[in-house]
Amino acid sequence: MEAERVCVGVRGGDDDDDDVYGQGVAPAELAYRAGLDALNNVEGTIHEYELKWMLGKRPLVHNPHQLAIDYTPEVAQQMITAFTTPVLPTGGDALTLEAYLPCLAWHGVGTRWRQFRTWAQQHALTARKEQATDDAAPAAGQDPTELFRAFANHLGRVRSYRALALTEAQYATVTELNSIVPTGRLRVGSDTIDAIVREEGVKKILYARLYIGLGLLDYDPSLSLHDDPETAVSIASGYMELPTRRVYLMEMNVPKIEACGCKVQDVQSDPTRRWFKHNKIWYDAFLERTERYMLFEIPFYSQRCTKLTRFEDASQVLQFLRPYQLLQAQRKQLRPQ
């Protein structure tokens, strides 16, 4: 993960507020965060069936109205301006990045729009240089699908975890569906879930997930992945009902672009609050690895699940969590804020 300032646009506001997202933070601290967030990076590119699924959920069409629903009108205007204002590279003619705008329709790009703009500028500049030195080189690509694929491969893949308290029959349903679905999909169909994402917008859905007790949505269209398996197990253990409902820990290999590019810090009410506690374990809100927000579902379970662990009783869960509990307490002591 690049150690750069990334104000993802989930939280509105002016650029003057960006210090809470990295500007003014000591380089050593930024390197620490980037290093932890990169621990679970894995080799591999995006597959065509993954690309087809994502673009089936949200076609790459530039829609200012939808961007305003997803990220607030103010942030949507910032995003549009950033890609329509010509870029003046050193010693060259102005670059235009408007061809990249349709990619913002996907939440895994829109929540990373500043990082995406930095990448798009370099991508367009590289294509221009290649064309200038090689007449046979293709012109800078304008196809949103190709630009999306290139950025997805730039982000890469990550090993992350989902844990659920399930009966054997419920786990069998996961394998039969070949998908991990959000709680909302247990009550309504995928068309309704798609409509909720479209009508409520990304920002509200992520806020409603973090503060689920507020009951802001009738049907939750979101899920979470966690790069630390202990985080996933700690949350799921609260729903374990022995002897029938045990915790299933699923190790997943997913494209980063399928997840929102934000951290708990970007969603919570107080972006300066670094640490929060759940089930006697401290968690760092400033790290993307703490929680990766997903929308719609996590499809292709059989192709992506690389390891499955089932916890048979509470003592096994506690034994698994104890070292992590101590590690997180040490990390909080070293970096209280």
Dmax over CA atoms of the chain, in Å, equals 69
Residue 2 has pLDDT above 70, yes or no: no
**Confidence class for position 292, pLDDT limits 50, 70, 90:** very high
**Confidence class for position 13, pLDDT limits 50, 70, 90:** very low
What is the pTM assigned to this prediction? 0.89
Write the CA distances from 271 to 97, 171, 177, 291, integer angstroms: 30, 36, 37, 15
Range from 88-97, 177-186, 250-259 carrying the lowest mean pLDDT: 88-97
Write the CA distances from 71 to 5, 113, 146, 200, 225, integer angstroms: 18, 11, 24, 10, 22
Paired sense of beta strands 292-295 and 41-42, if any = unpaired
DSSP string, 98-144: GGGGGGGGSHHHHTTHHHHHHHHHHHHHHHHHHHHH-TTSPPPP--H
Condensed to tens digits (0 to 9), the pLDDT of residues 117-154 reads: 999 999 999 888 887 776 655 555 689 999 999 999 99
Tell me, rounded to whole angstroms, the distance of Cα 59 from its chain centroid: 18
Cβ–Cβ < 8 Å for 311, 247 = yes
Residue 160 is encoded by which pair of tokens? Answer: 């992350």
Give residue 4's pLDDT: 26
Higher pLDDT, 280 or 15: 280
